[in-house]
Structure 1
Amino acid sequence: MWLALTDGTRTGVTGLLATAAGSPVTEPVDDLDGGRADVVVDFALDGTWYRIRLSSGNADRLRTSLAPYVDAGRHRPDRPGPGSPRTADRLRDHNLEVRRWARVRGYVVSSRGRLPDAVVRAYYAGEGPRESG
């Protein structure tokens, strides 16, 4: 008997009971058929990313079935969407720059949290650095 775990692995129930002194032995589960997974495959469709654990055979079948579409399609470089790490990094860097700018000019701003509207308005009203391009 196997017990499926929320992280996609499975372990034998007897293995759980027999390993009180150590960690249970787990193995990844194929999300398609419940067998043993060998690989994790990431793919996107219609702007939504998916991750699936598959056996080598199921991964090969997925790749083979998508091959005509991949061959006919055009590669698109990754573009970060809202909330992506690159977007978050740019926002954080921008907010740090506004905070530095405000402190030099005598504004009182906290090191974290929302920037005061008056500071943001002043920054964009021409007092802050202008972006080139």
Structure 2
Amino acid sequence: MAEIQTTTLIDDLTGKPLDAEKAHRIHFSVEGKTYRLDVDEKGADEFHAALDRFIEVSTKVAAGGASKRAAAAPRRASAGSGEQTKMREWAKANGYEVAERGRIPAAIQEAYAAAN
């Protein structure tokens, strides 16, 4: 037994069936979200007319450009081991709790820098 299935496109603006030969499928993105719109020629013209003003003054970016992560902030150069030893000794002498190894908290580094 043979079976034939058909797909009917519906105009998203009018709710009426679209002629597949004359249908316009428009893909667009706003604020990182991508949309698809199925409309007739009149609807496509209205869509493009509404956006033309904004497109003319916009900057075109590569696909996926909006979703790329921002570059990480540059890391601060760490103090040399001799400087870290002095910083730890200063911190202990001034009432700060600091581990013998590992990263020295930023608050202690800033207090040390302000005092020296």
Task: Bin the TM-score by the shorter chain.
Answer: 0.3 to 0.5
**Bigger proportion of residues as strand:** 1
Higher relative contact order (CA 8 A, sep 6+): 2
Q: Which structure has the greater CA radius of gyration?
A: 2
